[in-house]
Amino acid sequence: MAEATKVTKSELEELQLDIRYINDWQMKIGSLEVQKTDLLANIIGSQKRLKDVQDKLRKKYGDVIINIHDGTLKPREDDGEVDKKD
């Protein structure tokens, strides 16, 4: 077998195409990870705001259950469990 000094044009194009595909997919994955990070930050912010609203409502109405569909209040019933604080 003779020693080649260069791959064929079609082999080079095939290599370049595969590398381009890999690079494109890696860029897309990176973009999705950035979006994921932003979405997670939004969830954390929303959870904090929800806790703040819940605390404000608890101070105003006490420890009640609020129906999130119509806003009605219902007393929280004791579930019968013994307080296990020691």
**Buried b / exposed e along 7-30 (16+ C-beta atoms within 10 A):** eeeeeeeeeeeeeeeeeeeeeeee
Please give the single-letter amino acid code of residue 33: E
Element (H, E) at 73: strand 73-75
**What is the rounded distance in angstroms from the CA atom of residue 23 to the CA atom of residue 21?**
5
Full-model pTM:
0.65
Give yes or no for residue 85 having a pLDDT over 70.
Answer: no
56-75 pLDDT, tens digit per residue, is: 999 999 999 999 999 999 99
Element (H, E) at 59: helix 9-61
